[in-house]
Chains A and B, each alone.
Chain A
Amino acid sequence: NAGVTQTPKFQVLKTGQSMTLQCAQDMNHNSMYWYRQDPGMGLRLIYYSASEGTTDKGEVPNGYNVSRLNKREFSLRLESAAPSQTSVYFCASSERDRSGYTFGSGTRLTVV
């Protein structure tokens, strides 16, 4: 099915470990996004990529890095995980400005 695919779906890390969350879309969308969702705080933008080859910080970028590998793929890296990064992470993509997003199903990350 066409859409946004995130891997893994679940992950448990120890403090200080690193990992990369993968995201791929097959809708030929230009823009891609990483959000985190925490109870009572809605979704907060971590990083986004308006087009292939560009990335920009969002509201909460500290502790994260991203790579827009090609038009389809946008990965999120935690270099040294902290318990404060325990969250549900969503990747999304959009076709053009103001068109709205298509979301992936999320990655539930726990840092112990």
Chain B
Amino acid sequence: AQSVTQLGSHVSVSEGALVLLRCNYSSSVPPYLFWYVQYPNQGLQLLLKYTSAATLVKGINDFEAEFKKSETSFHLTKPSAHMSDAAEYFCAVTGTASKLTFGTGTRLQVTL
């Protein structure tokens, strides 16, 4: 079975500051990991995914995430926050099947 835990339901950063959203996973098999973003009143869009090819994964809008097996983590980072990054972010995991298991989400607020 697979599960993810997202630490912090709300994160607030200043515009231009580092964004760090935390995700820890549990999986009985080598996992595939995903980050999705949801803007208000919209569906979820894929930001990036880890598929075992490289531990540092780059996604859209300068987001990246690093897979750390020893820490069972897949934290999402962005060097410099922009107002348009304000949204809810979901980490998700899958094992050998197609079903994804999602975390409870982290709402990112970006302030001036």
The judgment on whether A and B are partners is yes
Q: Distance in Å from the Cβ of A2 to the closest Cβ of chain B?
A: 14
Q: Is there an interface contact between A33 and B99, defined as CB atoms closer than 8 Å? A: yes
Is B53 close to A, CB under 8 A?
no
Is A112 close to B, CB under 8 A?
no
- Please list the residues of chain A having a beta carbon within 8 angstroms of any beta carbon in chain B: 4, 31, 33, 35, 40-45, 48, 50, 58, 90, 92, 94, 96-106
Chain B residues whose C-beta falls within 8 Å of the C-beta of A33 in the assembled complex? 99
Chain B residues whose C-beta falls within 8 Å of the C-beta of A104 in the assembled complex? 43
Q: Is there an interface contact between A106 and B9, defined as CB atoms closer than 8 Å? A: no
**How many inter-chain contacts with C-beta < 8 Å in the A-B complex?**
58
Interface residues on B, range: 20 to 34
Is B74 close to A, CB under 8 A?
no
Query: CB-nearest residue of chain A relative to B51?
Result: A98
Q: Is there an interface contact between B44 and A31, defined as CB atoms closer than 8 Å? A: no
Q: Is there an interface contact between B43 and A45, defined as CB atoms closer than 8 Å? A: no
Is B73 close to A, CB under 8 A?
no
Q: How far is the CA of A35 from the CA of B99 in the complex (A)?
A: 11
Query: CB-nearest residue of chain A relative to B103?
Result: A42
Known contacts A105-B42, A105-B43; is-contact A40 B104 (Cβ 8 Å): yes
Query: CB-nearest residue of chain A relative to B48?
Result: A100
Query: CB-nearest residue of chain B relative to A45?
Result: B99
Is B97 close to A, CB under 8 A?
yes
Is B82 close to A, CB under 8 A?
no
Q: Is there an interface contact between B98 and A90, defined as CB atoms closer than 8 Å? A: no
Q: How far is the CA of A99 from the CA of B32 in the complex (A)?
A: 9
Known contacts A42-B90, A48-B99, A98-B32; is-contact A103 B9 (Cβ 8 Å): no
Q: Is there an interface contact between A100 and B34, defined as CB atoms closer than 8 Å? A: yes
